[in-house]
């Protein structure tokens, strides 16, 4: 099953995908610039774009 791992560059960033790879083989990584833990509140448009293209 494909997994989309999204992390903020001021929070988990690429570590989110690293963690997800322990449970899944097909992991796509997105690191959102200028965001921390509250991704949708801080950078909604990049999150919507990442989900829409998955």
pTM here?
A: 0.85
Query: Is a pLDDT exceeding 90 seen at residue 53?
Result: no
Return the bridge partners of 32, or none.
Answer: 8
Within its chain, how far is the Cα of 9 from the centroid?
A: 10
pLDDT, one tens digit per residue, over 3-43 is 999 999 999 999 999 999 999 999 999 999 999 999 999 99
For the chain, which residues make up each domain, given as ranges? 3-52
Supply φ then ψ for residue 9, to 5 degrees: -70, -15
Question: What distance in Å separates the CA atoms of residue 12 and residue 21, rounded to the nearest whole number?
Answer: 14
């Amino acid at each position: 099953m494909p997994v989309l791992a999204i992390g903020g560059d001021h929070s988990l960033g690429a570590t989110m995908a690293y963690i997800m790879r322990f449970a899944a083989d097909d992991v796509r990584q997105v690191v959102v610039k200028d965001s921390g833990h509250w991704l949708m509140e801080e950078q909604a448009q990049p999150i919507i774009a990442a989900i829409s293209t998955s």
